[in-house]
Amino acid sequence: MTRLFRGAFIVWVVLRYGLDELLLSSFRQPWLRMAARVVSVGRRLDAPRGVRLRQALERLGPIFVKFGQVLSTRRDLLPIDIADELARLQDRVPPFDSEIAIRSIERAFRKPLGEIFASFEREPVASASIAQVHFAVLIDKHGKQRDVAVKVLRPGMLPAIEKDLSLMRTMASWVGGLSSDGRRLKPREVVAEFDKYLHDELDLVREAACAAQLRRNMAGLDLVLIPEMYWDYCSPEVIVMERMRGIPISQVDRLRAAGVDIPKLARDGVTLFFTQVFRDGFFHADMHPGNIQVSVEPETFGRYISLDFGIVGTLTEFDKEYLAQNFTAFFRRDYKRVAELHIESGWVPAGTRVDELEAAVRTVCEPYFDRPLKEISLGMVLMRLFQTSRRFHVEIQPQLVLLQKTLLNIEGLGRDLDPELDLWDSARPFLEKWMIEQVGPQKLLEQLKEEAPRYAKLLPGLPRLLDAYLRQQPADLRREVRELLTEQKRTNRLLQGLIYGGIGFALGLLVMQVIVRVQLF
């Protein structure tokens, strides 16, 4: 019954704000436009279409606001008036009462507001779908005052999210059971991933921990600033963090007037994204413009400022390596390798013909190379790839849904900052360097160091275990085992020679590169 009522409410909101008319009027066919005029009879739809869409998403709740935030970054896919209005969802969702926020703070820290803060701005500086932020001056345990931002969770979020997730689970079951693509699309698994991310976002302590991890990961990169968390003042409903000062990344004219190198900023954004994804496997997955600023302070001028870490993505070593090889093959236009990787990973059936998949991928991707960002749309590329994946029965990977969403955010940001940016050319050097590091001698030494403690524990006991095993076997079997061990020793010596020779060859290449670079400079 709950799902039924929620579904009825969604239909009522769609009709109340005229979203049906908005959808029908977007088509070019005359009969659909006529249908739009018919369904709008008797309803007052005076507000602009972008305003109606934004208000409807706000009325429907946090999941729909998240959807609007993602759409707002895709100005290449939306009319300007709708994109501008949806951008208000990034940090200008109607705030909740400040008195409720103050009660949440006092309940979380069991102190009156005046004992925690020297001053507290009751008017929120930002308000989004999950929480709102107030500026304040914290009195720390040493009596020192610090400028901080206080993030407070919206009340009643869990029940609202659970209603929508329950409806999404039902719809996923219908798609999985009725659609011929149900097994390939994995709708239940995708909703389960979405469920996990949303529930994680409701725990602000987890967000603070993710911010701390990203801050450590990015410490030596000098490209991004991440606020410090004050752990004495972090709870599941309220977190207190360092106040960051910068210009929102969407205000390009202000950034340009301040002297920020916009093309460099766009390139740095690509480097930052690929570093988080492929080097660390831990990335900020909610990178819409409302969560990103640019520092104009003298000591950190031109660096990104990341905010709001409620949604982060993680990748396994297998996913990182597979994706990096795919990207590298794409950048080299090695479509055969792309096809082979899809088959090797099990993403397509084992019997798929490599040449057919290679030709299909080439047809989708080849038209978009060597063109600036303003002339391509990654969204359209992904759409065509999705159509191709249906033909070849490519299975959706739920663990990569966040990465795909973030990649679209990054492209949208890059398009706003520098339409001339060549996304492929900016990313290629990083990925090629990363791939060399993954297969080079340094990586081999790192893996040996990691495994050394385990081998150190196993090796002393091996002779005893082998002796006990040999004593339990017949004489002829013991003789065969000894012969195998002798042969294994010869093989080990051969392998050692090959490994040492390979390391020597790699080191020789490195030395030659250094000599060439010295001569060039």
Question: From CA 66, how far away is CA 77, in angstroms rounded?
Answer: 17
For this structure, is 286 an active site residue? yes
Question: What CA–CA distances, in Å, run from 397 to 186, 193, 196, 236?
Answer: 8, 10, 15, 30
Q: Which amino acid is at 164?
A: D
CA distance 152 to 138: 15
The DSSP bridge partners found for residue 284 are: 312
Structure tokens belonging to residue 382: 């992904």
CB 283 within 8 A of CB 271: no
Provide the total of helices (H) and of strands (E) in the chain, helices listed first. 23, 12
What residues pair up with 313 in beta bridges, in sequence order? Answer: 283
Distance CA 512, CA 277 (A): 31
- The residues with which 240 forms a beta bridge, in sequence order, are 150
- Residue 259, sorted as left (phi over 0), alpha (psi -120 to 50) or beta, turns out to be left
The three-class DSSP label of residue 261 is coil
Please work out, in degrees rounded to the nearest 5, the angle formed at the alpha carbon of residue 114 by the alpha carbons of 112 and 115.
Answer: 70
113 phi and psi angles, rounded to 5 deg: -55, -40
**63 CB neighbour count, 10 Å cutoff:** 18
Q: Given 76, 91, 286, 418, which residue is catalytic?
A: 286
| Nearest to 331, CA basis, from 369, 276, 282 | 369
Q: Alpha helices, DSSP H only, in 87-234?
A: 98-109, 113-116, 157-178, 182-185, 187-201, 204-217
Q: What are phi and psi of 136, to 5 degrees?
A: -155, 175
Active site residues: 286
